[in-house]
Amino acid sequence: MKITEQDKEYMREAIRLADESVKNGGGPFGAVIVRDGEIVAGSSNSVTRDNDPTAHAEVNTIREACRKLGTFDLSDCVIYTSCEPCPMCLGAIYWAHIKRIYYGNTKKDAAAIDFADDFIYKELEQHVEKRAVPLIPLLREEALETFRAWELKQDKVEY
């Protein structure tokens, strides 16, 4: 894939947002989402500011883009993020159907400053019974009723 000068400008904006976050007491991460050559959303990490462990730059930016565009489907968008996405952010990017990810720092760079996600990747490889945080099945038959109702719903909006 050919990197353009415009791609570099979008990445510089993600990095600028990360720098701004650091200056304001936040984490060193920023992201922008682009559609049709225009930045539609940009945000930074606000975990400590919002007391929200899910408030990573990519997730915040996805939320903002979805609000602005009035859709949960960002398949016509590209994300530029100042760091290789963590497992949660990568999952959010996939769920949003974003078609391309550009990143600055690597996950090894992040680990070098104590933002290490390797433990999550390792946990996902473990069988459920061997994970550090127990996953305990409970009331599956009752829960399946909701899935059955969804399956039969005629006017559902699929995603």
**Catalytic pick among 58, 84, 141, 151:** 58
> What does the mean pLDDT of the chain come to?
96
Q: Per-residue pLDDT tens for 127-156? A: 999 999 999 999 999 999 999 999 999 999
In the structure, what pLDDT confidence band is assigned to residue 1 with cuts at 50, 70 and 90? confident
In the chain, what percentage of residues exceed pLDDT 90? Answer: 93
Tokens of 113: 């400053």
Mean pLDDT of 57-71: 98
Per the annotation, the verdict on 145 as an active-site residue is no
Which pLDDT value is given to residue 118? 85
Q: What is the pLDDT of residue 94?
A: 98
* Tokens 């606000």, residue located: 46
The span from the CA of 41 to the CA of 62, in Å, is 8
- 46, 26 contact by CB (below 8 A): yes
Task: Indicate whether this model's pTM tops 0.95.
Answer: no
